Amino acid sequence: MFSPTMESEVEIYLFKPTFQFKVIGTIEARGMAEGDLIDLLTFSNPTEKKDMDLATRALRREAASIGAHGVIVLKQGQVRVSSSATERRIVGAAIRNLDMGTTQDDGTEKYIVVEGGYCNENSDCVRGLSCNNHMCVWPAGFKRPTSAR
C-alpha cells in the first residue's frame, strides 16, 4: 500500500505519540543473540541487551518494509527458549505520521480509536485493543497496561 521507508527513520514508541497517526499493520519481531568468543571463554550467555538490540532492528526493518514511520510497542518480553538461551519478543502497531502530510495510496482514511470508541475492524484500535461489536476493548485474558506516574 505504501512505499517503503528507511529503517533509520522508523521511530519506536513505548507510549501513544502526541501527533496524529494511523495504524497500517501489526508487526512481530524476535531477537536472539548468539554467544561470541568472549561469552564462550567466560562461560556466560549472550545478554538480554543483545536480544533487545536484535529485536529492535528487526522491528524497524519490518516497519520500514511496509512504509511505516514508527512502531508503537504493544507487548514485549524476554522468553527462555532453552536452558542457556533467551529471546526478546516484541509486538507493535506500525504507524504512519499524519502530521507529515502523507496520505494513504488508495485514498481511504483510517481512524484511530481508543478504548470504548467505535470501530469497524481490529486495525482501527490502538495499543492492543480489539474491535468487538464495533467497540474497542481489551481482548479477554489480556493484562491491561498501567501508565507510568
Distance between CA atoms of residues 68 and 6, nearest Å: 9
- Across the range 116-135, mean pLDDT stands at 72
Distance between CA atoms of residues 129 and 137, nearest Å: 5
Residue 97 sits at φ, ψ, to 5 deg, of: -80, 110
pLDDT tens digit string along 44-89? 555 777 888 888 999 999 999 999 999 999 998 888 877 777 788 8
Q: Is a pLDDT exceeding 60 seen at residue 148?
A: no
Ranges of CATH 3.30.110.70 domains, the chain: 7-102
- Across the range 119-125, mean pLDDT stands at 68
pLDDT tens digit string along 83-104? 777 788 899 999 998 876 434 4
> Residue 64: its pLDDT value, please?
93
- Across the range 101-129, mean pLDDT stands at 60
- Across the range 120-124, mean pLDDT stands at 67
Q: What is the pTM of this model?
A: 0.59
Distance between CA atoms of residues 78 and 46, nearest Å: 13
Q: What is the mean pLDDT of the chain?
A: 76
CATH homologous superfamily for the domain 7-102:
Hypothetical protein apc22750. Chain B (3.30.110.70)
Cβ proximity of 124 and 132 under 8 Å: no
CB-hemisphere CA count at 13 Å for 103? 5
The DSSP result for 84-146, as a single string, is: TEEEEEEEEEEEEEGGGT---TTS-----B-TT-B-SSGGGB-TT-EEETTEEEPPTTPPPPP
Lookup: cell for 78: 524476554
Taking the CB of residue 132, how many other CB atoms lie within 10 A of it? 14
